[in-house]
Amino acid sequence: MAFLADALDRVKPSATIAVTQKARELKAKGMDVIGLGAGEPDFDTPDTIKEAAIAAIARGETKYTPVSGIPQLREAIAAKFKRENGLDYKPEQTIVGTGGKQILFNAFMATLNKGDEVIIPAPYWVSYPEMVAICGGTPVFVEAGIETNFKLTPEKLEAVITPRTKWFLFNSPSNPSGAAYTKDEIKALTDVLMRHGHVWVLTDDIYEHLVYGDFTFHTPAEVEPGLYDRTLTMNGVSKAYSMTGWRIGYGAGPIQLIKAMDMIQGQQTSGAASISQWAAVEALNGTQDFIPKNREIFQGRRDLVVSMLNQATGLKCPVPEGAFYVYPSCAGLMGKTTPDGKVLKTDEDFVTSLLETEGVAVVQGSAFGLGPNFRISYATSEALLEEACSRIQRFCGSLKD
């Protein structure tokens, strides 16, 4: 009898974590490595949020919390959805988890049966299909390629809906591409979903506040109120508030779904860390003045990286509307040979040779379901980004036909 669960056969390890680990190993051997694989802001958590956490410790807020979150945070979440998204949720329609990932996982665990399908536009965050698979569902991938700036068209969405479709998983702004959908683009997708009443929407809005220029963020249940009763809206404090290590995500949706997720979480982790929850109350209710400042810095980095990558031989890099990633195509370099005689057949060959030759760690696009591309996180200093992009230009220029 096998000891390990069959579920493990359905899951692959995280490619983003693997790249980070390989970069660490090369660094340990003395190589000058610039890591552009991390999905977290390089800014520190704002002092007001840290102080709220310290005050919570001083007050003795150190006990178990209710599974779905402390009342003060659930109220803050409901107020945030009303204030920023025009969505009316009662506090009991919200749930707090240890990161946005737990919200997604619990939603799938609470709803998926064997054979249920989840539509996932590609490129996608590496964890989406693995979570679906662990929970017994079937990921259904639909390509949103560079020709549509990595955005799914309504025609492609319509074509993959079947009687087995349970969820449509929507992420805007997107990890890995940074693509963000306009209100009209979302409306075109929600019009399709309104014709298929059995399909629920799980929207990952974690990069909501990181959009650039005059772009305005919208979320599906706001654009199409008819989807309110079959939408789970997920968000969190990790990206906009630089609170990745605090591990707080949250969601809001129909009460029967929230209760089911609460039941699973009650047998899994129970409530999220009490101190982190009090910090998140301050994040949502307190000053937001650091968000535009951080956004301006990110936009400058985006523009630098896009400009330099588009000057590299064989690369094509669209300008993303949000998040802190770019997703350039390296299709123009496939079949070329590196100075040490290796032929680049895949985007994985490209990122491996780039790391070994120039010490720049990026993640291959095939890990996100769409290649030949690679993902760069520009959540690091302009000086490092400029150096990294210079190395990428040098590497691309060194390749031979």
Given a cut of 80, whether residue 356 has pLDDT beyond it is: yes
What was the pLDDT predicted at 283?
98
Q: CB-based burial of residue 231 (10 Å sphere; 0-12 exposed, 13-18 middle, 19+ buried)?
A: buried
pLDDT of residue 13: 78
Do domains 6-44+290-396 and 63-285 share one topology? The answer is: no
Tell me which fold the domain 6-44+290-396 belongs to: Aspartate Aminotransferase, domain 1 (3.90.1150)
Give the tens place of pLDDT for each residue, 259-318.
999 999 999 999 999 999 999 999 999 999 999 999 999 999 999 999 999 999 999 999
pLDDT at 143: 98
Distance CA 178, CA 206 (A): 12
Residue extents of the structural domains in the chain: 6-44+290-396, 63-285
Side chain identity, residue 27: K
pTM score: 0.96
- Pick left, alpha or beta for residue 136 (phi over 0 → left; psi -120 to 50 → alpha; otherwise beta): left
The DSSP bridge pattern shows strands 231-236 and 360-361 to be: unpaired
Q: What pLDDT does residue 37 have?
A: 87
How confident is residue 55, by pLDDT bands cut at 50, 70 and 90? very high
Cα–Cα distance for residue pair 205/35, rounded to 1 Å = 25
> In CATH, what class is 63-285?
alpha beta
